[in-house]
Amino acid sequence: MGKKNKIYLLIYGLIIFALPAILQNNYHLMVLNVAALNIVVVIGLTLLMGYAGQISLGHAAFFGLGAYLSAVFTTTYGFPLWPTVIMAMAITGSIAYAIGIPTLKLEGHYLVMATLGFNIIIYIVMIQFDAVTGGPSGFAGIPRLRMGNFAFGSDRQIYYLLWAVSIAVLILSLNLIYSRVGRAMAALSHNEIAARCAGIDTEGYKVKIFVVSAVLASLAGSLYAHYITFISPGTFSFFYSIQVVTMVLVGGMGSLWGSALGAILLTILPEVLHAVKEYNVLIYGLILMVVLVFFPQGLFPGIAGAFANRRTKNPSDSGKQLALAKRA
């Protein structure tokens, strides 16, 4: 995955695992725990958007399927926790496969609409099928995360688990994009016809990436359900799909690091803007529009690019930067 990424990962990991020592407030830890889960969803979506050139507006449904399948089977039917999480991933993946096969074959952006339609179907089922899902009032009493005899009780204990999962997913994805498969996906996103001519099974890759991204969303959903121990349909509405897509776009469609930072930033931002909860929807819409209009390659890459431009325009400045970097 390249030396640069290994250094980034080391710094990222150190900061993440040092943070709980500084943060004493459980509420702050909870926000970061949700950020860790959002990163898992967003990484899957980044692979789909950046490498398969497709957008899904249905990831809230996959996230919700993971959460509800896990919740219902462990709580109502007493299934063991971790096998259920894996089963939920398998079921969600199969559903994504069934949606992806017809829509990803077509030129154009049918996946956007198909996934959005699917999101709404799942949302309606969560509300209407109340004998199983608990309906609009939600589903409570989901067992907490545990490993063997160790139960993850506090936000602090869960922090390490969720961030370990989140970082593991990031490492696997970084490995993926620097592999043969990753290069094939990059070719596919640049020019599908050229990629086909080079012997890449473009359709197969697109469907596989879509399934992988849905499975990651399902994993995050299951962990969310067992962490919060209460879920309700509102969390899995269409708006969450928009939120995760916005996170990817703010971070830059092809950049895993950018997306991870985008996810952290946009998870924390609404908490900071607590006073303007009413304006939440409007703010997300405006961020999405402004970023897309002015920084179509992503906010972080866009800003970095602007800096790089400034630096090349001013050679003495860049020389100074280089000297500083060497000294450091």
The distance of Cα 231 from the centroid of its chain, to the nearest Å, equals 19
Pairwise CA distance, residues 317 & 310, whole Å: 9
- Interaction mask 143-182, other proteins, x per CB under 8 A: ----------------------------------------
Q: Do residues 62 and 238 touch, judged by C-beta distance below 8 A?
A: no
- In the complex, what is the shortest distance from the CB of residue 97 to other proteins, in angstroms, rounded to a whole number? 13
| φ, ψ (nearest 5 deg) of residue 55 | -115, 135
Q: Does 245 bind other proteins (CB under 8 A)?
A: yes
Q: Does 192 bind other proteins (CB under 8 A)?
A: yes
Whose Cβ is closer to other proteins: residue 14's or residue 121's?
Answer: 121
Q: Does 191 bind other proteins (CB under 8 A)?
A: no
**Contact with other proteins (CB under 8 A) among 40, 170, 177, 249:** 249
Q: Does 13 bind other proteins (CB under 8 A)?
A: no
**Contact with other proteins (CB under 8 A) among 194, 282, 303, 308:** 282
Total binding residues for other proteins by CB under 8 A?
A: 50
Helix axes 59-71, 26-46, angle to 10 degrees: 120
Q: Do residues 23 and 29 touch, judged by C-beta distance below 8 A?
A: yes
Q: Sign of dihedral through CA atoms 42, 44, 50, 54? A: negative
Rounded to the nearest 10°, the torsion over CA 184, 188, 192, 198 is -10
SS3 assignment, position 43: helix
- Region binding other proteins by CB under 8 A among candidate stretches 27-35, 105-113, 137-145, 258-266: 105-113
- Region binding other proteins by CB under 8 A among candidate stretches 13-21, 63-71, 213-221, 286-294: 286-294
SS3 assignment, position 199: coil
Which parts of this chain interact with other proteins (CB under 8 A)?
53, 55, 57, 99, 102-103, 105-110, 112-114, 116-118, 120-121, 124-125, 128, 192-193, 196, 202-203, 238, 242, 245, 249, 278-289, 292-297
